[in-house]
Structure 1
Amino acid sequence: MADGVEAADIAGTAGADIAGTAGTDTVREFERHRGRLLAVAYRVLGRTGDAEDVVQDAWLRWSLADVGQVADPEAYLVRTTTRLAIDRLRSAQARHESYVGPWLPEPMLTSPDVAEDVALADSVSTALLLVLETLSPIERAVFVLREAFGYPYGEIAEIVGRTEATARQTARHARAHVEARRTRYDTDLATRTAATERFLAAAAGGDLGALMAVLAPDVELVSDGGGLAPAPRKAIHGAELVARALATFAGRMPPEPSVELVTLNAGPGIVIRSGPTAVVAITLHLVDGLVRTVHLVSNPEKLTALG
């Protein structure tokens, strides 16, 4: 699922700082692959800001390399980006241990055509990215390279600095780990969009009955405020409690509020703004047409890419 999709994956850019510090050919070659590098880094890290920083670091290394001696620029750049992302992920996972409240991946604006590709959409789903957080950094990188981009095991082994046999074993373990922990959510885009529209109308109108009609009985609300915005410190379970929490939240709209339906992580999502600033992002995950999981991000540090 790799060819032709990476540039559409991330609406932000890491190229603004790539200026005339290197030759034109060096810059052009890097730009050819930057979309893929961002796509790999985001899936490994779960944060657009970190992904852009990693790609910028990869550019600095590329700009200092003797690129004329690099036989395969893409392989070189993906290897560099992946190893930088693994290093950053290790420190990020240590930070997660002291994170205030639940941790969710940073929401990412994606183009609508990405949402129409079921396999591609799944690879950037917040639900999958959350499961990937339970893998080790090496396992996560191997899973992303194999499952999202289809790299052969020999290339993966070279990228992560392992033998091919070890790469295969790591991939099998990571795949089994993910399958055992993930929920199979509905993938039909029309169904998800219709449910998101009904959810938004009911929540905005404070209609508990209509809201509960969209929610599965065992629905879970996970809110990520990171200690920087008001948010429950634990997940909320059950249709009635989740509906009341959402209705309470809807009654506390920010100044100059606006609500927008957008494509987040290759699926329908909701962004609430205060003036031009995004203050909340919501993604819904459905099972049998009902909302089974609500991911709500209000941590302002995770919403800057939605501005």
Structure 2
Amino acid sequence: MSTETTDPATEAFVAHRNLLFTVAYEMLGSAADAEDVLQETWLRWVAVDLDQVREQRAYLVRITTRQALNRLRALQRRKEAYVGQWLPEPLLTTPDVAEDAELAESVSMAMMLVLETLSPTERAVFVLREAFDFGYEEIAAAVDKTPAAVRQIAHRARKHVDARRPRQAVPRSAASAAVESFLRAVETGDPQALLDVLAPDVVLIGDGGGLKQAALRPIGGAEKVARFLFGGIGKNKLPLSLAPTVVNGSPALVAYLDGELDGIMAMRIEDGLVTGLYYVRNPEKLTHVLSETPLTLR
């Protein structure tokens, strides 16, 4: 039997790792960058005198938030030079994420895109307050603001997000039914069946990152989206297959081209219709769709 013991710093970090990753991912929209933030958090955490730490969870979140804010500002500069549209990195999530409505909404592709419209500080404050229910004083310590300033930022960010966030989520059964109808229409090449499941104002956003072909601008309207989907599939000389999956806590489709992973198509579904399609083809963003990523708000 091993007599090795884990030191307190490691125990605390491991205990809260999933929470710290979720905080970083919701702030950055990038799993790769979130992993880097956790490495930076760990290096700073092991240098801390734990006897001086009153609440280890809050302290770790504070370190993670500060590192994520630094990386978010650098990430914004990268996005300015990004080829085409930028979408969050999709995650294959564990079943419990889809069952937690609050968590599923907070990491959905649609919500992550709304968070992209906030400033770095607004995004950090909103995420910590609305998703993770941290107090204003805890958030103030993490973002180097006063509690009063954090309250104002939180109010402004909430108002901004509420004006843009998806409408009330549909039941999982209805969402799954819409995905199945979409998949059946595409597989059978039935334009009318596809139009029946697309909302009139549906928007498709593609992300190839300059490495794979994708629409350089959003495509809006059911007929234009249908033409694009059938046109794109028709141009493929290799066989394309689609299969249901769950990314970011919501139903989605994984696409295989000649048996090789080609992309993830996440969906926004409201009132039983597809209102948003987010097709990530950039291979650098597909590293977290083959194995499940555990997420948590607590």
Matches within 5 A, 1:187-266: 187-251=170-234, 258-266=241-249
Letter in structure 2 aligned against 1:183? P
Q: Using the TM superposition, give the Cα deviation of residue 273 of structure 1 relative to its aligned residue in structure 2, in angstroms.
A: 3.3
Q: Using the TM superposition, give the Cα deviation of residue 113 of structure 1 relative to its aligned residue in structure 2, in angstroms.
A: 2.2
Identity %: 50
2:83 is matched with which residue?
100
1:14 is matched with which residue?
none
C-alpha RMSD of the superposition: 2.0
Structure 2 contact 106–131 (Cα < 8 Å) conserved: yes
Q: Using the TM superposition, give the Cα deviation of residue 118 of structure 1 relative to its aligned residue in structure 2, in angstroms.
A: 1.9
**Structure 2 counterpart SS, 1:181:** coil
2:105 is the counterpart of 1:126: no
Q: Using the TM superposition, give the Cα deviation of residue 121 of structure 1 relative to its aligned residue in structure 2, in angstroms.
A: 1.1
| Mapped partners of 1:24, 1:156: distance in 2 | 28
**Structure 2 counterpart SS, 1:128:** helix
Give structure 2 stretches of 5+ with no counterpart: 291-298
Instruction: Describe the superposition over 1:245-296 as per-residue Cα deviations: whole angstroms up to 9, x where unpaired.
Output: 1122333558675533111111111112357853211111123211111111
Structure 2 contact 27–72 (Cα < 8 Å) conserved: yes
Instruction: Describe the superposition over 1:142-176 as per-residue Cα deviations: whole angstroms up to 9, x where unpaired.
Output: 00000001011111111111110001000000001
Report the TM-score, using the length of structure 2 for normalisation: 0.90
Q: 2:126 aligns with which of 135, 143, 161?
A: 143
Letter in structure 2 aligned against 1:145? L
Aligned residues: 287
Letter in structure 2 aligned against 1:30? F
Matches within 5 A, 1:282-297: 282-297=265-280
Letter in structure 2 aligned against 1:261? P
Matches within 5 A, 1:10-21: none
Structure 2 contact 240–257 (Cα < 8 Å) conserved: yes
Q: Using the TM superposition, give the Cα deviation of residue 93 of structure 1 relative to its aligned residue in structure 2, in angstroms.
A: 1.0
More relative contact order, 1 or 2 (CA 8 Å, 6+ apart)? 2
Q: Using the TM superposition, give the Cα deviation of residue 211 of structure 1 relative to its aligned residue in structure 2, in angstroms.
A: 1.0
1:4 is matched with which residue?
none
Letter in structure 1 aligned against 2:63? T
Give structure 1 stretches of 5+ with no counterpart: 1-19
| Mapped partners of 1:255, 1:35: distance in 2 | 39
Change (3 A) 1:278 1:64: farther
Change (3 A) 1:256 1:214: closer
| Mapped partners of 1:151, 1:273: distance in 2 | 41
Report the TM-score, using the length of structure 1 for normalisation: 0.88
**Structure 2 counterpart SS, 1:305:** coil
1:115 is matched with which residue?
98
Change (3 A) 1:270 1:296: same
Change (3 A) 1:246 1:27: same
Change (3 A) 1:73 1:290: same
2:39 is the counterpart of 1:56: yes
**Structure 1 counterpart SS, 2:163:** helix
Structure 1 contact 41–51 (Cα < 8 Å) conserved: yes
2:161 is the counterpart of 1:169: no
2:263 is the counterpart of 1:280: yes
| Mapped partners of 2:189, 2:114: distance in 1 | 32
2:295 is matched with which residue?
none
1:158 is matched with which residue?
141
| Mapped partners of 1:294, 1:185: distance in 2 | 17
| Mapped partners of 1:254, 1:302: distance in 2 | 24
